[in-house]
Amino acid sequence: MKTHRPHSDSLKQQEAHAGFFSGCLDILPMAVGAAPFGVIIGAMAIQAGLEPWEIVFMGAVVFAGAAQFIALDMWTSALLPGSVALAIIGTTLMVNLRHILMGAAAAPHIRGITPWVRYPYLYVMADETWAMTIRRARVNNDLGPAYLAGLALPFYLNWLVWSYVGTQIGDVINDPAVYGFDFVFTAVFVTLIFGFWKADRHLLPIIVSAMIALLAREVLPGTWYIFAGSVAGVLTAIITYREPSHE
Amino acid sequence: MNDMSLFQELYSDAGVAPWLVMVGMAVVTSATRFSGYWALGRRRLSARTESVLAAVPASVLTAIVAPMVLATGFSESLAALITIALAWRFPTLVAIAGGVASVVVLRNLI
């Protein structure tokens, strides 16, 4: 029996490698799409008077593209007045409120994962890695620590590298729209939404979320529309929930 | 006294070090990332809760992309439709590449 152990160990290792690799593959388009935005963030940081290492530090500890973008927009000088600092932190909180819903939705899928992967994963959970995680759990029913690491680690490092590159080559990419980079994100999310719809055929929360997001964007400041649309979609799901019929 | 001086330090116009602002941003961001997980991570969920949670991903992603898909321009809306049409038949990567390629072409045409 002893001779079987090394074999099953190497089999496990092979599985882990395969999981890590498919995570990398799934997140690759998102990493490509994020690159120009990393460059823009790096360029904005230099214009705000920050040092290159400071924007890499911000990316490393905050790791939230939309929040960083808005923060740098408000960053008027290297040393900020206290009121501006508080406004930036408050805005960051609001922009990231959707993470509360995302963490709750991911909870049933990731709670069995080893804490060594689960907590770092949660610390850097982004729209992109989270969406791929849910898809993997629901569609493939094969969510492991190696896959999560394969999603999160390259996506994290990718962001830091491109933020740094932006501090060096600043104004090369003025407008990601020219090459359609800005649409990568949208295209990926559209395919994911389509996939979720195919799995459960619940269309109403999607429609309500879209309508409320569009409405909210007209009347609410900043990115509040994301939270408003998300909550409206989830409320729709609560209202239209029917107990499964037992026959 | 101590509270007061802390308040003044945070609120004065002397200037807050960048790293301190970034740590503040990191703290509130982590709070959002962990709180939803901790609220539900250890509990056994009812069928109702699970079904409602299942609606979260599509709702959040839809709210994020709705302005780009529905309120940016004809090119973006049509490219999103093309992406969905491709996703019906082809692997995801093909749909994404086709969607991005079509938005570049459409923006140049229109």
**A36 and A75 share one domain:** yes
Residues A38, A161 contacting (CB under 8 angstroms) = yes
**A79 and A95 share one domain:** yes
- Classify residue A3: in a domain, yes or no: no
What is the full per-residue pLDDT of chain A (247 aa) written as tens digits? 444 555 577 888 888 899 999 999 999 999 998 888 898 889 889 988 899 999 999 999 999 988 898 888 788 788 888 888 888 898 889 888 889 999 999 999 999 999 999 999 999 999 999 999 999 998 888 899 999 999 999 999 999 999 999 999 876 666 767 778 788 889 988 998 998 898 788 899 999 999 999 999 999 877 788 889 999 999 999 999 887 765 4
Structure confidence at residue A122 (pLDDT): 97
- Classify residue A5: in a domain, yes or no: no
Confidence of residue B1 (pLDDT cuts 50, 70, 90): very low
Structure confidence at residue B95 (pLDDT): 93
Structure confidence at residue A247 (pLDDT): 47
Residues B64, A127 contacting (CB under 8 angstroms) = yes
Rounded to whole angstroms, the Cα distance separating A190 from A65 reads 19
For A54, which of B19, B51, B70 is closest by C-beta distance?
B19
Structure confidence at residue A33 (pLDDT): 87
- Classify residue A133: in a domain, yes or no: yes
**A16 and A76 share one domain:** yes
- Asked if B21's CB is within 8 angstroms of A85's CB, the reply is yes
Structure confidence at residue B7 (pLDDT): 53
Domain regions of chain B by residue span: 1-43, 47-110
- Classify residue A182: in a domain, yes or no: yes
Domain limits for position A33: 10-197
**A72 and A180 share one domain:** yes
- Classify residue A109: in a domain, yes or no: yes
Structure confidence at residue A54 (pLDDT): 96
**A151 and A132 share one domain:** yes
Is the minimum CB–CB distance between A149 and chain B shorter than 8 Å?
Answer: no
- Asked if B11's CB is within 8 angstroms of A100's CB, the reply is no
**A226 and A113 share one domain:** no
- Classify residue A4: in a domain, yes or no: no
Helix axes A115-123, B18-40, angle to 10 degrees: 130
Torsion angle of alpha carbons A114, A116, A117, A119, nearest 10°? 100
**A145 and A115 share one domain:** yes
**A32 and A121 share one domain:** yes
Rounded to whole angstroms, the Cα distance separating A96 from A64 reads 8
Is the minimum CB–CB distance between B4 and chain A shorter than 8 Å?
Answer: no
**A192 and A206 share one domain:** no
- Asked if A206's CB is within 8 angstroms of B59's CB, the reply is yes
For residue B4, pLDDT over 80 is answered with no
Length of chain B in residues, anyone?
A: 110
**A122 and A162 share one domain:** yes
Is the minimum CB–CB distance between B99 and chain A shorter than 8 Å?
Answer: yes
**A232 and A185 share one domain:** no
**A189 and A216 share one domain:** no
Average of per-residue pLDDT values in chain B:
86
Is the minimum CB–CB distance between A133 and chain B shorter than 8 Å?
Answer: no
Cα A132–Cα A134–Cα A139 angle in degrees, nearest 5? 95
Is the minimum CB–CB distance between B85 and chain A shorter than 8 Å?
Answer: no
For B40, which of A107, A177, A231 is closest by C-beta distance?
A107
Structure confidence at residue B79 (pLDDT): 97
- Classify residue A73: in a domain, yes or no: yes
